[in-house]
Amino acid sequence: MSRRRPARVERTRTRGGGGRAPRPARGHPPRRPHPPGARYRTGPDGVAGTNFALWAGGAEAVELCLFDEEERETRHPLTELTHEIWHGFLPGVRPGRRYGYRVHGRWDPWSGARWNPAKLLLDPYARAVDGDFGRRTEPAGPGTALPAQLYGHVRDWPDQHLADTVRDNRDSAPFVPKGVVVGEDAGEEGDDEWRDDRRPKTPWPDSVLYELHVRGFTMRHPGIPERLRGTYAGLAHPAALDHLVRLGVTAVELLPVHQFAHEDHLVRRGLRNYWGYNSIGYFAPHAGYAATGTRGQQVGEFKRMVRALHDAGIEVILDVVYNHTAEAGEMGPTLSLRGIDNRGYYRLAGDARRYADYTGCGNTLHVVQPHVLRLITDSLRYWVTEMGVDGFRFDLAAALARSMHDVDMLSPFLAVIAQDPVLRRVKLIAEPWDVGSGGYQVGAFPPLWTEWNDRYRDTVRDFWRGAQHDVRDLGYRLSGSSDLYAWGGRRPYASVNFITAHDGFTLRDLVTYEHKRNGDNGENNRDGNNDNRSWNCGAEGETDDPEVTALRHRQLRNFLTTLLLSTGVPMLVAGDEMGRTQHGNNNAYCQDNPTGWLDWSLLEDPRWRPLADLTARLITLRRAHPVLRRRAFFSGRPHEQGGLRDLAWFTADGTEMTEQDWYTPGATLGMYLSGNDISQRDERGVRIVDDSFLAVLHAAARPREITLPGPPWAQTYELLVDTAREEQPTAGEPPCPAGGTRTLEGRSVVLFRAVPG
């Protein structure tokens, strides 16, 4: 076996320690413990350099390691210590310089101490990262593992149940990425670049979210130059923006763009982490999505992407993973926080050798610790104030809301967010659960937050597959889920309504498969959710049967129409509007290939283009009518003397629902939204008046004759949407008389505009 020659190491000291480091002139900027990270600046006497600051509670010593172009390492002990922050100023260190840390301390895994100076550690505050773990940019072949040197313990120790207790003294520097010093002017934006008046600032009720993956959305787009595909620059390209604008969405919700790492078990199978829910750098845009370079250029490229989206009227929301890191459990690699202060950054179990795992990913950040809370909030503010983003979706947010053990809505994390002058003003979306005891918290987050509403997802799926006995739950979901959110001043837009998300079947697969097909993930189809609430419409998988195909297309139209007519904030998943498929894989987290990427040829396919047209039509309708974008919950009462109820429910017979009707088995529900009885007023205090609408949802397989409500609800009804038809109604169709009948095709939605007398 060949031996790797160790890199030449030079040791110097910052001021007070002697050595080779160039001494700054008199009056150089003082070494500062704040802000954390690497900050390049010029002092009052013109001496330029970088201040480095690292919180490492309990450490015995910290070495800053600088790397040149030949990977030669120079170590500078940080001798200044202020409140457990090790810091020092190095003149001459300019933007683009790569660095890492080595932290010295005890090795005592039984007490949670896992310091190992042989491991080069990524700065938690690094604003850019260059390189990848193991130095791989493409998937390795099956059977190839991450380098064993990445682990603080001897990964391949014969006695595996003790392996994490045996320290590995081999140098990890050749196998790890380095932080990059980034100048304050990265991206060349002015001081007012992210002013409020230059952001879209779409109100919550008017928002339509579009969840997408930077790489997957752009990799196969024929209008994006090949060199830009899979990158931030690709998403900023006019070809990508044109689709978003034409569709009408108001915000993109980007799957994780923090620097992340690939798990060893994936690398061994020749795969890689595609979704990115494995963060290791909370300030750094993931370098793998940069077209312009990784020595800090990714920062400017990300900013330019945000600016291009803003110019198109589209907000940018980041899916962020502050609940755990890529270091996994005690058998995971030592990449950053574990080697800086394992006991300070992570929640440890009663046996301090183990981790408290509320995330299912091996570890949980210890958010009640002040320095960890600061790391998270500093990161959030950085992405808002310096990178320009407009909000965040918090993965497994319940894990962040835990105090010592239980989920606590008065937890330090939620309290800090609520009073922060920057963060309380941006869009905050909780994934309101984790995998720990008591972790399911849908409807429980405080008023500042919106939530992914999986109750909406499950109810709508069940309704359209015929698995509900009555329509009680559907009524709540269509009207804003007041049973979950009508408390503490919360509004209907607290509910982010979705039918699909990145995690699970695509919309097309939801009507094509009843059983997941995750064999390509290499886990013998054990991964992914088994409770999909899907229905294949009579045949498992793709089929040429015209009846099954027609029914599937109708079901897709039913789902999209239901979603975009519901009160709350709708969230679409990129590609669902054009019939994207993952061929039954409901957990494509490791499919960085055409399975996980959008197939843009679907937009040119006459079988799928009408679906995209319907989606855009529904979003346009929603944007045009405030009655579909409620800012307050329905009261079920008139708001003006002689008016109608703002919301009324009807049976298929055209009569108003009684209490008994809600409990009667049935699959047809009429929902009347009165535009003349909206409680809200505009910015000038004038009462808002809109058209009135009647939507009828019919989930039974057989056609059903319905009676349209008579006066005073309307004189006639103008048909706007009929999901039984691929081509939607036009303005030339004759109106339907109030009190008249109409036959609904099996499993369809109709939407009427109620025309008054």
> Do 634 and 671 contact (CB within 8 A), yes or no?
no
Q: Is there a catalytic annotation at residue 547?
A: no
Task: Give the DSSP letter string of 237-299.
Answer: SHHHHHHHHHHT-SEEEES--EEE---HHHHHTT---SS---EEEEEEEPGGG-SS-SSSHHH
| Euclidean distance between CA atoms 95 and 85, whole angstroms | 22
Q: Are 545 and 539 in contact (CB under 8 A)?
A: yes
* Full 3-state SS string of 21-46: CCCCCCCCCCCCCCCCEEEEEECCCC
Q: How far apart are CA 596 and CA 581, in angstroms?
A: 9
Residue 186 Cα distances to 9, 64, 500, angstroms: 30, 23, 37
Name beta bridge partners: 48: 42
- Rounded Cα distance between 296 and 287, Å, is 9
**DSSP-derived 3-state class of residue 96:** coil
Report yes or no: 639 and 679 within 8 Å, Cβ to Cβ: yes
Residue 434 has which token pair? 């984790």
- 546, 182 in Cβ contact below 8 A? no
User: Strands 569-573 and 668-673: what pairing?
Assistant: unpaired
- For residues 169 and 157, give the distance between their C-alpha atoms in angstroms, rounded to a whole number: 13
Residue 50 is given by DSSP the state E
Handedness of CA 721, 726, 732, 734 (dihedral sign): negative
Which residue shows structure tokens 């609520």? 418
Helix 370-385 vs helix 412-419: crossing angle, to nearest 10 = 40
395 given a catalytic annotation: yes
d(CA 57, CA 734): 75
Give exposure, 378-388, as e/b (b: 16+ Cβ within 10 Å). Answer: bbbebbbebbb
Q: Tokens for 256?
A: 């994780």
Beta bridge partners of 121: 101
Q: How far apart are CA 320 and CA 381, in angstroms?
A: 13
Kindly report the backbone phi and psi dihedral angles of residue 52, in degrees, each rounded to the nearest multiple of 5, phi listed first. -110, 135
Tell me the β-bridge partners of 496: 452, 569
**DSSP letters along 556-604, please?**
HHHHHHHHHHSSSEEEEETTGGGT---TT-S-GGG-TTTTTS--GGGGG
Q: What is the CA angle 208-621-612, rounded to 5?
A: 70
Outline where DSSP puts E strands in 198-238.
209-212
By the 8 A CB rule, do 437 and 397 touch? no
- CB burial readout 118-135, b (16+ within 10 A) else e: bbbbbbbbbbbbbbbbbe
Point out the catalytic residue in the list 395, 451, 592, 646: 395
β-pairing, 704-707 vs 741-744, is: antiparallel
Question: Which one from 63, 130, 171, 431 is the annotated catalytic residue?
Answer: 431
How many residues does the structure list for the chain?
Answer: 757
State the Cα–Cα distance between residues 364 and 346, nearest whole angstrom: 6
Dist. CA 567–CA 21, nearest whole Å: 63
Give the pair of three-digit tokens for residue 455.
Answer: 């109750």
Query: What residues act catalytically?
Result: 395, 431
